[in-house]
Amino acid sequence: MALADLSQKLGVDIDSGLLSLALTHRSWAYENGQVPHNERLEFLGDSVLGQAVTVRLFTAHPELDEGALAKRRASVVSTLALAEIARGIGLGRHLLLGRGEDLTGGRDKDSILADTMEAILGATYLSAGPDEATALVLRLVEPLLEDPERYGAAMDPKTSLQELAAHGAMLPPVYSVTSTGPDHDRMFTATVVVGDLAREGMGTSKKHAEMAAALSAWRELSGRA
């Protein structure tokens, strides 16, 4: 039922075995006898995503030069953008994670959510074919493609948040960062405060955590939450 619910949200019929594989993180695979996990599907999905977005931008924006097209593509396929899409469909609750990864907030980690979205695209390509995979990509990224301001926020959320704060006559954003876990697998949590708003973000580095927090705050303040 859970897989059927996810397929319905995605709007495409994906083979249940492939979809389960796409949702299987390596931490779960390791704890369950080194069963297959989703990284090969992620590799395929990355190419499906990149091609679909590239063709869409190229055909829809003949006025943009190569640099502008590359910037827009990078923002739409970025980890932060894909994680935002994943949260929008409630992907986190469907993930198969190892116990340790689950306990440390893996269901809401940008990197895991983004990688899983790419794996789902790979599974769609294999199960439903290239046309359906491309259609799924475009359905998922359309809100980002239609909101040019979000390009800058996805690429450089800290600068975008600072500009938004200045425009609203607020003090500059203030960040604080904590970390957990061993040195080889450390997870960072950043909190940004701007005006009366405080938002958190997580990442595998201080920089990524601050970017995630800044994007969350930017979305709230700009009315795109």
pLDDT of amino acid 48? 97
pLDDT of amino acid 181? 83
Distance CA 219, CA 225 (A): 5
Query: What pLDDT, in 10s, does the model give residues 5-61?
Result: 888 889 999 999 999 999 999 999 999 888 899 999 999 999 999 999 999 999 999
- Cα torsion for 147, 152, 155, 156, to the nearest 10°? -140
> Is 183 annotated to bind ligand?
no
pLDDT of amino acid 173? 95
> Is 115 annotated to bind ligand?
yes
Strand, coil or helix: 52:
helix
Q: Which residues contact 139 (CB under 8 A, 6 or more apart)?
A: 11
- Stated as kind and residue range, the H or E segment containing 197 is strand 197-203
Strand, coil or helix: 98:
coil
Question: What amino acid positions are annotated as catalytic residues?
Answer: 46, 118
pLDDT of amino acid 225? 57
Instruction: Annotate 112-161 with DSSP letters as a single string.
Output: HHHHHHHHHHHHHHHHH-HHHHHHHHHHHHHHHHT-HHHHHHHH-HHHHH
Query: What pLDDT, in 10s, does the model give residues 157-178?
Result: 898 899 889 988 889 999 999 9
> Is 42 annotated to bind ligand?
yes
pLDDT of amino acid 149? 67
User: Average pLDDT of 203-221?
Assistant: 89
Which pair of tokens denotes residue 115? 């990688």
Distance CA 77, CA 196 (A): 31
Q: What is the pTM of this model?
A: 0.74
